[in-house]
Homo-oligomer: A and B are copies of this chain.
């Protein structure tokens, strides 16, 4: 194997020498500081390009006590993560930051240790918290103590601890419910998500309120709790379908569980969507991979991710303190009607 010698790395001094200025001036250009004559800036930029100079992040970080790292904390990987990640990375790049993804074991006892290590070693410049971490008190407190900018994604409570991004889950859930009702459904089942997940409460609330608004009773038997995973959806759906008076429609808190409901309905030999309408939430890729295709709610995940990263980047410069108000950035959702929902059979 060839044993290529690493070429002598180019330093800020090399650039300074070439342009005949002090390293400090080059530094100013790199960091986009003002007070550099446009002509000088031009020459330096040119030299940087010519020499193909790349500042050493370690040196930069050591001298300025930065890390150029933003964390994306999440409980477990999933589709949502992938998409979110892509959006966040993109934005980070523009600010020449880097994104590191740290899957966490939320349940485990060593979350404390994990957080200490990450904050101590990495000195992250900001952290994006995906649910259910968005509402994890311990994590939030630690982060606040360390004075690290945080953005919470789809948080449950409005803790006024950090800005957040999300959609109006409540309104979206009302829309889906209204869609069912308009089709003529009255016995509507609901599958709740993970109890600690931000969206869970809001989506359920939206469902209940819309039902109430139409004076339709919410039957306890037809409200089941899943964990946002397919397997749980199966169980929940089965319970409902076995009920003395089964639902004509099921509203699941996410697409995985909705797919499970469809799968279970098929096992019960139901004709879909005639005998059972199902709606999900998220518009995951899965939604159009099953038959019938899912009626669901689309979230602009990538846009939300970009904003989240952006907020960190914006927040970051003023190290001392959060803005007084904690803005909740709400994005527009979209009800996507496909053929998993239809008028109920007579």
Contact = CB atoms under 8 A, between A and B. Distances in A.
Nearest to A84: B77
B4 A144 contact: yes
Contacts of A82: 77-79, 81-82
A147 interface: yes
Contact of A230 (B59, B79, B256, B285): B285
Contacts of A320: 3
A167 interface: no
Nearest to A82: B77
A121 B291 CA distance: 47
A154 to B, nearest CB: 18
A101 interface: yes
Given A116-B52, A259-B289, A121 B57 contact: yes
Interface in A107-164: 116-117, 120-123, 144-147
How many copies the complex holds: the figure is 2
A47 B81 CA distance: 39
A98 interface: yes
Interface of A: 1-4, 6, 52, 54-59, 61-62, 67, 76-79, 81-83, 85-86, 89, 96, 98-103, 116-117, 120-123, 144-147, 230, 256, 259-260, 262-263, 266, 285-286, 288-291, 320-324
Contacts of A54: 116-117, 120-121
27 contacts: A2-B144, A3-B147, A3-B321, A4-B144, A4-B145, A6-B146, A52-B116, A54-B117, A57-B121, A59-B62, A77-B82, A77-B83, A77-B86, A78-B82, A79-B79, A82-B82, A89-B102, A89-B103, A98-B100, A98-B122, A99-B101, A230-B285, A230-B288, A262-B291, A263-B289, A263-B290, A263-B291
A122 B291 contact: no
A6 B116 CA distance: 14
A4 to B, nearest CB: 5
Contacts of A85: 77, 101, 103
Contact of A86 (B103, B144, B259): B103
A126 B56 CA distance: 17
Contacts of A321: 1, 3
Please indicate which of the listed interface residues A1, A81, A230 has the most CB atoms of chain B within 10 Å of its own CB. Answer: A1
A14 B86 CA distance: 41
Contacts of A86: 76-77, 103
